[in-house]
């Protein structure tokens, strides 16, 4: 890993896998040269700069008298607005005279070992300085006396560059940021397509691909959460690329609020990619000596398919994003009462569910929504964070003790960011909810959003939540958030600063999460937002797992988990076996298939196990035994997507995990719909050692021994999986 600086001010970040090269242009702007597979270092890369030899027709030239030097035709690193580049800029700074024209030019650089933290924002980190190197570039607008600092880090063992940007106002006048993105990159067109993760509630993170023409495509969220509609991730997919081959460039924003990610192809076939806080309804006042830090973006490169890109993200996030005691620990098998009871429970009912769960081998009981205030349905109680003694006579404290006595750990649900108009909290502090003056705020799920940008709100929540955590025996928290933002207006901001409210809210959420996760390091935190409405790296920094979707249907989960795995580690995906007919789709699948899908995640159950048949109980016991024996591999092994639910008419889906030593693998195979007179099913199992001998533990290929190369390149065939809808099997492969 190295950062080279050439005499002509070219910067080359290089490790064994990738190179990232850019330079200071003659105009003082930064020109992008290359991001991709590792290149040998040399003293001059200016050949990569595409400066026209002649005048560019009718295009403003940045340096007087130098024909061809036009920003509109040059690949750039952090483009400005107002001096000749007509594509989307990385930033727009409004000045007191009404101008938005700026000239931030290169002024200095700094290189150092390690990776800096980002103040008040989630960020990737290293445990020692030898794991990364960092380059900081300062651009200065001397008229404004203001700096932009671009930070680039390269890591020892990953095909990953992280970038972020910061602006500082040293001048006398107030500046208003109307847009300040995290990064920009201009690439040479390579017949790329856009790949992103789109969806909705219950259909989160479907893989979507879109051709890129001479136009602009954007993904974004204005919902106040990163959203299930568009995850803050996009990738450029090279022509012909697939899971196992071809080029992918991924970009993932470490942020949980409104964002934008844009792809713009220009008239010279350059592709501009940028990402950051959504400029829509955003502005930020920067007074003298103030600075603004934009969130970090994690850029990843693969030239051996999408699986390699994902594996890099998984292991990078596992090592350099997720923090705390639970980072590398296998997760407990839980039972959650939400789909078992919804709001309709009492202590007796809960203890019945927990007792049966314990009998079958479950390790953690999680009490979901409905345990506090007057919360008997979703119209009331949010904000009143004290036990409902009608349901729980000895409160959460007593229940947690009783659950512990059964031999189970105890977990609890909160939805801290919300307030019900029917609550004690709202009676006392109606002004704590986001709402605009003289207008009725819009309800969603009968609730309003608390203004987490307010210190008094955060203090109240901290006090209430920490009291319960201190007084009860709690080892897990589910932090839910069940509506998108509307009526974004904060009572603690000047009228002219209301464009800051949505971002200040997210900073407030981060602050509170940081406080609670630091103070209670033994607790396993899981974030959630009406299912997977906020499944992003920002949340994973504070909480190592996220509830993937409210949709617990095994067949739907194939798509959701497959898409989520493009970026996020398997250990981070909450995945539960629920009752049938499924509550979201009414589909009936076997308890076996439900578990075979949920095994690839933070595994648990979400039903009343007293209501299943005795055969199913036996099956659950077996499942729990299998999961306990294999959870290290299932949650932390190298994950491969093999057959996609988005590509093969949804008939067959498969994926696998392999351990580091390549001595054990588990394959999940799912036949969605039955096919008459089926051909033999083959499956090729990736990631093994070609020269090792493996034995297969499967009913179709009993005890047969294969070399790794045969399994990887020829594959094994099955018979039984083809019959019946929603069938599945798990195959265990072991090195002899
Ligand atoms: C939405 C979550 O995704 C569910 O799992 C459940 O916790 C409900 N909220 C409770 O209101």
599, pLDDT greater than 80 = yes
- Low-confidence winner among 356-370, 392-406, 513-527, 715-729 (lowest mean pLDDT): 715-729
Burial bucket for residue 20 (CB in 10 Å: 0-12, 13-18, 19+): buried
Share of the chain above pLDDT 70, in %: 98
Per-residue CA distances from 643 to 458, 653, 730 (Å): 46, 5, 15
Per-residue CA distances from 465 to 158, 334, 512 (Å): 38, 22, 10
Q: Which of residues 55 and 182 earns the better pLDDT score? A: 182
CA–CA dist 404, 396 (Å, integer): 12
CA–CA dist 553, 558 (Å, integer): 9
Q: Do domains 334-635 and 642-735 have the same CATH topology?
A: no
Ligand 1: which atom is nearest the Cα of residue 368? 7
Ramachandran category for residue 224: left, alpha or beta (phi over 0 → left; psi -120 to 50 → alpha): left
Average pLDDT over residues 544-557: 98
66, pLDDT greater than 80 = no
Q: How many angstroms is it from 574 CA to the middle of ligand 1?
A: 12
Q: How confident is the model at residue 723 (pLDDT cuts 50, 70, 90)?
A: low
Specify the pairing of strand 545-547 against strand 524-527.
Answer: parallel
Does the Cβ of 338 fall within 6 Å of ligand 1?
A: yes
CA–CA dist 216, 172 (Å, integer): 37
Which 3 state secondary structure label does DSSP give 392?
coil
- Low-confidence winner among 69-83, 546-560, 583-597, 652-666 (lowest mean pLDDT): 69-83
Catalytic residue list: 480, 550
Neighbouring-strand partners of residue 151: 136, 164
Mutual angle of helices 347-360 and 395-405, in 10-degree steps: 30
Other Cβ atoms less than 10 A from the Cβ of 390: the count is: 9
Ligand 1: which atom is nearest the Cα of residue 549? 3
Specify the pairing of strand 259-265 against strand 216-221.
Answer: antiparallel
Does the Cβ of 370 fall within 6 Å of ligand 1?
A: no
Residue 513: φ, ψ to 5°: -65, -40
Does the Cβ of 247 fall within 6 Å of ligand 1?
A: no
188, pLDDT greater than 70 = yes
CA–CA dist 413, 477 (Å, integer): 6
Q: Which of residues 61 and 690 earns the better pLDDT score? A: 690
246, pLDDT greater than 70 = yes
Atom 9, ligand 1: which residue's CA is nearest? 530
Q: How many angstroms is it from 342 CA to the middle of ligand 1?
A: 9
Is the dihedral angle over the CA atoms 47, 49, 52, 53 positive or is it negative? negative
> Do 447 and 419 form a contact (C-beta atoms < 8 A)?
yes
Ligand 1: which atom is nearest the Cα of residue 478? 7
CA–CA dist 15, 19 (Å, integer): 7
Q: How many angstroms is it from 478 CA to the middle of ligand 1?
A: 9
Q: Where are the domains of the chain?
A: 2-320, 334-635, 642-735
Which 3 state secondary structure label does DSSP give 73?
helix
Report domain 642-735's class. mainly beta
Distance of CA 656 to the CA centre of its chain: 21
Predicted pLDDT of residue 676: 81
CA–CA dist 460, 463 (Å, integer): 5
Burial bucket for residue 47 (CB in 10 Å: 0-12, 13-18, 19+): exposed
Bond prior to 63 in cis (omega within 30° of 0)? no
Residue that has been written with the tokens 């270092």 in this structure: 41
CA–CA dist 268, 74 (Å, integer): 9
Q: How many angstroms is it from 531 CA to the middle of ligand 1?
A: 7
Extract the tokens encoding 670. Answer: 């799912």
> Do 125 and 117 form a contact (C-beta atoms < 8 A)?
yes
Q: How confident is the model at residue 99 (pLDDT cuts 50, 70, 90)?
A: very high
Choose the residue to mutate in 338, 484, 529 for probing ligand 1, maximizing ligand atoms within 8 Å of C-beta: 338
- Low-confidence winner among 84-88, 120-124, 334-338 (lowest mean pLDDT): 84-88
CA–CA dist 106, 26 (Å, integer): 10
CA–CA dist 621, 170 (Å, integer): 65
> Do 113 and 129 form a contact (C-beta atoms < 8 A)?
yes
Fold for the domain defined by 2-320: Beta-galactosidase; Chain A, domain 5 (2.70.98)
Predicted pLDDT of residue 536: 98
- CA gyration radius for the chain? 27
Predicted pLDDT of residue 369: 98
Kindly compute the dihedral angle of the four CA atoms of residues 646, 333, 381, 346, in this order, to the nearest 10 degrees: 130
649, pLDDT greater than 90 = no
Extract the tokens encoding 201. Answer: 């509630």
Atom 1, ligand 1: which residue's CA is nearest? 530
Residues 6+ apart with CB under 8 A from 647: none
CA–CA dist 167, 139 (Å, integer): 9
Burial bucket for residue 281 (CB in 10 Å: 0-12, 13-18, 19+): middle
Ligand 1: which atom is nearest the Cα of residue 413? 7
Does the Cβ of 368 fall within 6 Å of ligand 1?
A: yes
pLDDT in tens, 205-229: 999 999 999 999 999 999 999 999 9
Does the Cβ of 202 fall within 6 Å of ligand 1?
A: no
Predicted pLDDT of residue 64: 66
Predicted pLDDT of residue 721: 57
Predicted pLDDT of residue 441: 96
The DSSP line for 565-614 is TTTS-GGGEEEEEE-SS-TTT-----HHHHHHHHTSSEEEEES-GGGS-H
Average pLDDT over residues 11-28: 96
Average pLDDT over residues 277-298: 98
Per-residue CA distances from 583 to 55, 371, 531, 587, 611 (Å): 65, 22, 14, 8, 15
Q: How many angstroms is it from 369 CA to the middle of ligand 1?
A: 7
Q: How many angstroms is it from 524 CA to the middle of ligand 1?
A: 17
Q: How many angstroms is it from 579 CA to the middle of ligand 1?
A: 16
Residue that has been written with the tokens 């019959």 in this structure: 723
Extract the tokens encoding 23. Answer: 């330079």
Does the Cβ of 531 fall within 6 Å of ligand 1?
A: yes
142, pLDDT greater than 80 = yes
65, pLDDT greater than 90 = no
Share of the chain above pLDDT 90, in %: 90
pLDDT in tens, 367-385: 999 999 999 999 999 999 9
Average confidence score pLDDT of the chain? 95
433, pLDDT greater than 60 = yes
Atom 11, ligand 1: which residue's CA is nearest? 369
Q: Which of residues 133 and 69 earns the better pLDDT score? A: 133
Q: How confident is the model at residue 344 (pLDDT cuts 50, 70, 90)?
A: very high
Which homologous superfamily is 334-635 in?
A: Aldolase class I (3.20.20.70)
Extract the tokens encoding 669. Answer: 């195979």
516, pLDDT greater than 90 = yes
Q: How confident is the model at residue 650 (pLDDT cuts 50, 70, 90)?
A: low
Predicted pLDDT of residue 140: 98
CA–CA dist 262, 686 (Å, integer): 34
Other Cβ atoms less than 10 A from the Cβ of 518: the count is: 11
Neighbouring-strand partners of residue 194: 210, 236
Which 3 state secondary structure label does DSSP give 313?
helix
Does the Cβ of 479 fall within 6 Å of ligand 1?
A: no
CA–CA dist 690, 703 (Å, integer): 19
């Amino acid at each position: 890993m190295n950062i080279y600086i050439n005499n002509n001010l070219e910067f080359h970040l290089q490790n064994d896998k990738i190179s990232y090269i850019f330079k200071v242009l003659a105009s003082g702007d930064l020109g992008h040269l290359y991001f991709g597979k590792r290149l040998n270092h040399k003293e001059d890369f200016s050949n990569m700069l595409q400066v026209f030899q002649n005048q560019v027709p009718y295009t403003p030239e940045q340096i007087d008298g130098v024909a061809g030097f036009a920003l509109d035709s040059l690949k750039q690193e952090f483009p400005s607005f107002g001096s000749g580049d007509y594509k989307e800029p990385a930033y727009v700074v409004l000045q007191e005279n009404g101008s938005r024209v700026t000239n931030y030019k290169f002024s200095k650089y700094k290189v150092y070992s390690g990776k800096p933290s980002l103040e008040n924002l989630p960020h990737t980190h290293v445990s020692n300085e030898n794991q990364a190197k960092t380059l900081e570039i300062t651009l200065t607008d001397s008229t404004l006396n203001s700096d932009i600092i671009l930070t680039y880090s390269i890591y020892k063992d990953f095909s990953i560059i992280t970038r972020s940007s910061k602006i500082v106002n040293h001048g006398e006048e107030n500046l208003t940021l109307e847009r300040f993105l995290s990064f920009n990159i201009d690439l040479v067109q390579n017949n790329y397509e856009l790949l992103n993760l789109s969806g909705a509630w219950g259909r989160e993170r479907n893989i979507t691909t879109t051709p890129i023409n001479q136009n602009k495509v954007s993904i974004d969220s204005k919902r106040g959460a990163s959203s299930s509609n568009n995850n803050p991730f996009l990738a450029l997919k090279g022509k012909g690329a697939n899971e196992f081959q071809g080029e992918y460039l991924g970009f993932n924003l470490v942020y949980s609020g409104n964002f934008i990610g844009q792809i713009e192809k220009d008239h010279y076939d350059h592709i501009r990619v940028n990402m950051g806080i959504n400029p829509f309804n955003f502005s930020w006042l920067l007074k003298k000596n103030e600075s603004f830090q934009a969130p970090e973006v994690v850029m990843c490169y693969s030239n051996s398919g999408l699986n390699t890109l994902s594996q890099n993200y998984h292991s990078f996030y596992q090592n350099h994003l997720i923090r705390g005691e639970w980072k590398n620990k296998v997760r407990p098998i839980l039972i959650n009462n939400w789909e078992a009871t919804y709001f309709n429970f009492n202590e007796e009912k809960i203890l019945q569910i927990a007792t049966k769960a314990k009998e079958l081998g479950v390790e953690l009981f999680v009490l979901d929504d409905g345990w506090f205030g007057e919360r008997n349905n979703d119209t009331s109680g949010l904000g009143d964070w004290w036990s409902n003694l009608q349901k729980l006579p000895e409160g959460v404290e007593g229940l947690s003790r009783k659950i512990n006595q059964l031999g189970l750990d105890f977990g609890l649900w909160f939805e801290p960011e919300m307030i019900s108009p029917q609550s004690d909290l709202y009676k006392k502090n109606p002004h704590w909810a986001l709402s605009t003056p003289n207008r009725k705020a819009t309800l969603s799920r009968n609730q309003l959003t608390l203004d987490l940008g307010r210190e008094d709100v955060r203090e109240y929540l901290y006090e209430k939540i920490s009291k319960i955590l201190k007084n009860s025996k709690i080892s897990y928290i589910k932090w839910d958030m069940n509506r998108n933002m509307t009526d974004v207006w904060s009572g603690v901001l000047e009228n002219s600063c209301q464009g800051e409210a949505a971002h200040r809210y997210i900073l407030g959420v981060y602050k509170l999460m940081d406080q609670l996760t630091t103070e209670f390091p033994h607790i396993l935190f899981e974030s959630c937002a009406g299912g997977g409405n906020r499944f992003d790296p920002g949340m994973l920094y504070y909480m190592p797992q996220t509830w993937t979707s409210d949709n617990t249907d095994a067949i739907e989960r194939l798509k959701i988990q497959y898409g989520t795995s493009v970026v996020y580690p398997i250990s981070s995906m909450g995945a539960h076996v629920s009752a049938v007919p499924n509550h979201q789709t009414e589909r009936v699948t076997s308890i076996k298939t439900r578990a075979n899908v949920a095994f690839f995640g933070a595994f648990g159950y979400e039903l009343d196990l007293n209501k299943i048949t005795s055969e199913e109980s036996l099956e659950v016991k077996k499942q729990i035994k299998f999961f306990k024996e294999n959870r290290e591999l299932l949650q932390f092994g190298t994950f491969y997507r093999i057959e996609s639910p988005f590509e093969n008419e949804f008939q067959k889906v498969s994926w696998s995990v392999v351990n580091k030593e390549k001595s054990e693998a588990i394959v999940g195979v799912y036949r969605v719909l039955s096919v008459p007179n089926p051909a033999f099913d083959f499956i090729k199992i990736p990631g093994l050692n070609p020269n090792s001998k493996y034995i297969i533990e499967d009913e179709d290929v009993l005890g047969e021994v294969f070399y790794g190369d045969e399994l990887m390149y020829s594959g094994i065939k099955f018979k039984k999986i083809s019959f019946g809808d929603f069938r599945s099997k798990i195959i265990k492969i072991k090195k002899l």
